[in-house]
A and B are shown apart, each in its own frame.
Chain A
Amino acid sequence: MRDLAYRGRVLIIDDQDATRYVFRRILTKAGFQVEEAATGAEGLSKSLDGPDLIISDVNLPDMLGYDLSRRIKSNPVTSSIPLLQISATFISEESKVQALEGGADSYLVQPVEPTFLVAQVQALIRMRKAEISSRLSAIEWQTTFNALNDGLALIDPAGVILRTNQSFLRLLDLKHSDAEGKKLFEIFDSKFGLPLTDFLAFRSAGQSPELSYGSRWFRVLYDRIPEEPFREDAFILLLTEVTQQRKLQETLKMTERLAATGRLAHVIAHEINNPLEALANLIFLVQQSPVLDRGNRELMNQALIQLERISEITKQILIYHRESKQPVLADGTDLLQGVLAMFRPQMMVNHVELITHFKSSRPVWVHPGEMRQAFGNLVSNALDAIGEDGGTLRVSCIDTTDLLTKRKGVRFVFSDSGSGIPQESLLHIFDAFYTTKDLKGSGIGLWLTSEVINKHRGRVRVRSRTSGPFRGALFDIFLPERRPDESAIILQEVHS
C-alpha cells in the first residue's frame, strides 16, 4: 500500500472482472482499501465485515440491484453503510429512482470519471462518519440525560420538541410519541393549562411561576442554547419538581398563621381586659352612689352582667392559647362547659337548641388548652353544618369502658342536626387542609382535633346521615382515664 493515509474500506460488488479491476485501481490509488465480491450473495456476506462504503452494480447475476440495496439497508448491521450503485448502461430516470428508493445513497452511470468516483466515495464516507458521531453523541446525550431527575427537552427554533429525557416523559405522563416531534405549546396547554406565550410573558417580566400538573408542582426553566453564529437558536426546557418544597412551605405558612392568630387573639384579649377592669370598677362606683334610684341601680346591674359576658369570652380566649406542658387531671364536664360557653352567642343568633347530658364523674388526664381546642372545633363544625336556620346540637359526656381495649375512660358525643357528611367526604375530613367551605374553611379543624385526641391516646369515630329524620353528623370521642404514658403501655399490651 502506498504511504497514503488510510481513508476507508470499500466493498465492490460486480460480476465483471474488468469493472472491479478499474475501480480497485482508482480507489487504491486514492488511498482506499478495497474488497471485492462477484455476486450479490457474496457481497451481502462481505458487507457484514463492516466496510465504510459499498459500490454495487445494479445488474448482478443473482439479484437485482435494488434487491441488494434493500437487503443491505434492512439489516441493522449494515443499514448505516453508504451504498453507491453503478449501472453499466444508461437507464431511465425511473430505474434511478427505484435504486434510490431501495436505499442506495447515490447513483452513478458508467462510464464513470475516476476523479468523480473518488469525490463521490469520499463524500459518502465523510457523511457516514458525521452520522456515526452524531448518533454516538445522541446516545451519550440520552444516557446522561435519562439519568437526571429533572425533566429535560430540546426544542428546535420552530418550537418543535426534538428530544426529551425519561424524566420529562415520566413527570408529565407522556410517551415518546406524545412528545418528540410535537409542538411545545401543545404540551404546555394540555399539561399545565397555561398558554406558552403567557409563560414566556411571565418569564420576560422576570417572574418564574411554578406550574402544576396533576398534584405535582414544577419550577420551569426555558432557555436559549447558544449555537453556531449562523444557525437559529434551539431551546432547552428544564422541569424541576418542587412539590415537596411547596407542601412544606404551605404547612409552614399555615402553622405560622395559626401561631399568629393565637398571638393576636391573646393580645386582643389582654387589651380588652384592661378597659373591662376599668369599666367594672366604674359601674361598681356608680352603683355605690347613695343618690342612685332603684330603676337606675337595676340598669347598672344589667350592665355589669353584660360586662361579665365579655369577660368570659376574653378569659376563654386566653385559656385557649395558654400552653400547658404537663397534662392535668380535669373534669370532662368542666372542659365542655367552658367550650360551649364560647359558642353560646352564635347558637343564640342561629337558633340552635343545645341539649346537654353530662353524667361523668371520672376525671381525665388532659392538656386542657388543646382539648378545648379539639372540642371547640367539633362544636364549630356542627354549628357550620346546622347553618343559620336553626337546629339541634346534642352534647354528652359519660363515663364508659372502651369495648375494644377495655380501657376505662370518658366518652364525649357531639351530634348535630346539620347537613351530615357525604360518604365520599368521610374519608378526607381528618386530612389537613380538607375543607368544603372554600374560603370560609381552613380544613385544619378536624385534623387538629384528631391530632389532639391521638396524643391523648383517645379515639374519634364519626357517623353521618345526609337525609331522613336523623340527618346530621355525630362525633364520638373516647378519652382514657389514665395518664397518657400509662395508657401507652396498656395499648401495647392489647396489640401484642
Chain B
Amino acid sequence: MSDQTKPRETIFVVDDEPVVADTLAAILRQVGFATNSFHHPQAALDQAQINCPNLLITDVIMPGMTGIDLAIQMQKVCPQCKVLLFSGQAATADLLEEARTRGHEFELLSKPIHPADLLAKISNQE
C-alpha cells in the first residue's frame, strides 16, 4: 500500500467491456490507487469535469468515441493527466499514427497484458 499521507493518485479506467474495466480498476485499487471505472467514454469525460484523474487508461475502439479522441479531450480538461491506451486491435496503429500527425503522442499497450506488466508500466509513468 502507498503512503496514506500524500493524496492518492486517481486513475480512470475506460473500456466498453465492463468486466475488463471493472477488474482492472479492482487490481489498481488493491495496490492503493483511487480508481473509477467507466463503460462509456463520455461518462469518463463528465466525471473529469468534477475530478481530474492523474492517469487515464482507456480502450481504443469503443462505440461513440475512440480512446484516442477521449484522451485528447481529457487532456484539454485536465492538462496534467497522463494517458495509457490499450487495445486488442491492430487497426489502432493507424489511429495512433493519425493522432501523432495532429501532435498527440500516446503509448499503446496491446491486450491482453499481464496485470503485473501493466502495474510496472504505471509505476514507470510516474
Contacts and interface: CB of A to CB of B under 8 A. Distances in A.
Interface in A93-112: none
Given A276-B111, A277-B88, A278-B19, 18 more contacts: A266-B90, A269-B88, A272-B88, A273-B111, A274-B17, A277-B17, A278-B23, A281-B20, A281-B27, A281-B115, A282-B23, A285-B26, A285-B27, A304-B114, A311-B112, A318-B110, A322-B90, A322-B93
Contacts of B24: 277, 281
Contacts of A314: 88
A168 to B, nearest CB: 54
B33 to A, nearest CB: 14
Contact of B88 (A273, A304, A321): A273
A321 B90 contact: yes
Given A270-B88, A321-B90, A284 B115 contact: yes
Interface residue range, chain A? 20 to 34
29 contacts: A266-B89, A266-B90, A269-B88, A270-B88, A273-B88, A273-B110, A274-B20, A274-B88, A274-B111, A277-B20, A277-B112, A277-B113, A278-B20, A280-B115, A281-B24, A281-B27, A281-B115, A282-B23, A284-B115, A285-B23, A285-B26, A288-B30, A307-B112, A308-B114, A311-B112, A318-B89, A318-B110, A319-B90, A322-B93
Nearest to A266: B90
B122 to A, nearest CB: 14
B113 A280 contact: yes
B50 interface: no
Contacts of B113: 277, 280
A318 B90 contact: yes
Interface residues of B, number: 20
* Dominant secondary structure at the A interface: helix
Given A274-B17, A288-B30, A280 B89 contact: no
A263 to B, nearest CB: 11
Lowest 5 CB-CB distances: which A-B pairs, in order?
Answer: A273-B88, A281-B23, A284-B115, A276-B112, A277-B112
Contacts of B120: none
A315 interface: yes
Contacts of A321: 90
B88 to A, nearest CB: 3
Nearest to B31: A288
Contacts of B93: 322
Interface string B25-60: 011001000000000000000000000000000000
